[in-house]
Amino acid sequence: MGGQGRLGMMQPPVIILKEGSDQSQGKGQLLSNIGACTSIVSCVASTLGPRGMDKLIVNDRGQATISNDGATILKLLEIVHPAARTLVDIARAQDAEVGDGTTSVVLLAGEMLKESKQFIEEGVAPHIIIKGYRKAAQLAVQKVKDMAITIDKSDKAAFHDLLLKCAGTSMSSKLIVSQKGFFSKMVVDAVLSLDQDDLDENLIGTKKVPGGGMQDSLLIKGVAFKKTFAYAGFEQQPKSFVNPKVLCLNVELELKAEKDNAEVRINEVSEYQAIVDAEWQIIYAKLEAIVKTGAKVVLSKLPIGDLATQYFADRDIFCAGRVAADDLKRVVKAVGGSVQSTTSDINEKHLGSCGKFEERQIGGERFNIFEECANAKTCTMILRGGAEQFIAEVERSLHDSIMIVKRAIKNNQIVAGGGATEMELSKYLRDYARTIQGKQQLIISAFAKSLECIPRQLADNAGFDATDLLNRLRMKHAQGSQWEGIDIEGECTSDLMEKFVWEPALVRINALSSAAEAACLILSVDETIRNQQSEKPNPGPKAPPGTAQRALRGRGRGGLPRR
């Protein structure tokens, strides 16, 4: 009975997860996640700041990308570690929300996790660390808001100067730093040409033309797009107009044989001729309706065939078919009017107008350019340069600057860059930590220490003695110099507010909040369950029909070969 009782107590193991599932948990899993995030940080750390290095990433198709933009690098790395992907997400969020500071946010999150590692190894519960980090992040964000300097928008000259400084600061770590003044002015003019209520950056078109130098880039205060597919008769059309009316269509102006769309049964040849005549009448009716509107420039999303092109050329009208949807949207925004889906009943209000239209050669491309538009709420940047990878990186750099200028217009509070803000926050949080007791004091001090990674990395990337400069920064901030940061040009520390190294306070606030949130999220995970990918059994090569029967016929009972 005793033996039977003991056997009865032995329960078989309960299998919950599918066979092949990988299950990791506990302190080891936490430390593994932190290690994965730290290795991600080491990939992008060297790209931070004016002396940051670029990364050359080659994908599986052999396409090469050269960039030092944190979000771009992390996106191209195709990271598969589930915890490390959190850092990719915060870099993308920072890029979408603010546009700049993508490397900084990844560095901060990684450093916060690195500082928390010692507490986890000593057995501190992750939730105590999370509580401390959340409190520290809240205090840091409030401190940035308190110390930020507000620029008066009513003084147009001073505000324009602020925008130029902010654009220049975001470019100082990019490839285009040598032409910082030229591109800063281009970016500020581009953003100021938009509708100031919504500031839709998608209305700033960017066209890349290989060849020439960076300073050959130009800003069109209107719309420019590459010459579209040209039909016979295109070269006979006029290529320049002053004060033309512009008609935008979503209509196909091509002679279409109705046999493609319908079935027609006829008894006589004359009936067939009547159908052909009707097809010609339909297209001519459309073309006549367009000419009667008085429009001198006709654009369409759909093809404009050779018949229509020649028809317009004979009447001194310029036309372009297959115009990209985003280009046509920007044309409508610039010249006014609206996109018409029919050629009947087009009135004056449906047409747009611009001061000057011309087709111009830029580098190896021909561009259709609309300038001096009636209500220009859009613009186009035409970027020049040597290699295509270089122009692509210039475009990414300008996108960051456009987003920074957009944020500075909407939120006119600024702080100094160069690690000055982080050092002041670090000093403030250390002072606060001394006023409380318990484990939280150590955790908030660790958060304060993690903020120092930004000035340290800036100094390291520039080849300076980081320990010496950090000690000097700590001393200066303790003495009350709140804008003291790493001066790359002077290879020392200096007041970066006076040196005009400015950036919107929103960049720092967003970076701190996102980094703390990502660190807390990773610290709250103590188990990873990875389901094995289901694989279909490989059936092997398919046998020809009748093979199985023939094979069986040649065998006796039990599948043995017959003698």
Q: Are 107 and 453 in contact (CB under 8 A)?
A: yes
Residue pair 246/355 in contact by the 8 Å Cβ criterion: no
Question: Could you tell me the pTM of the whole model?
Answer: 0.75
Q: State the Cα–Cα distance between residues 158 and 151, nearest whole angstrom.
A: 8
Residues 66, 47: Cα–Cα separation, whole Å: 12
CA 477 to chain centre: 35
Q: Each residue of 23-76: pLDDT tens digit?
A: 556 677 788 888 888 888 888 889 888 888 888 888 888 888 888 888 888 888
Q: Render pLDDT for 102-153 as a digit per residue (tens, 0 to 9).
A: 888 999 999 999 999 899 888 888 899 999 999 999 999 999 999 988 877 7
Contact 193, 376 (CB under 8 A): yes
The segments of the chain whose pLDDT lies below 50 read 1, 5, 7-8, 20-22, 543, 546-563
The pLDDT score that the predictor gives to residue 446 is 94
At residue 69, what are phi and psi to the nearest 5 degrees? -85, 120
The active-site residue, picked from 100, 327, 400, 487, is 400
The length of the chain is 563
The first and second tokens of residue 115, run together, are 């500082």
Judged on CB neighbours under 10 Å (0-12, 13-18, 19+), 561 is exposed
Active site residue 103: yes
Judge whether 102 and 95 are in contact, CB under 8 Å.
yes
Residue 169 annotated as catalytic: no
Q: Per the residue annotation, which of 69, 100, 327, 487 is the catalytic one?
A: 69
| Burial (Cβ within 10 Å: 0-12, 13-18, ≥19) of residue 210 | middle
Please identify which of the residues 47, 65, 86, 102 carries the catalytic annotation: 102
Q: Quick check: helix, strand or coil at residue 275?
A: helix
Sign, CA dihedral 219-222-228-230, equals: negative
Q: Is 343 a catalytic residue?
A: no
CA gyration radius for the chain? 33
**DSSP-based three-state secondary structure for 508:** helix
From 47, 72, 103, 493, the catalytic residue: 103
Predicted pLDDT of residue 558 = 46
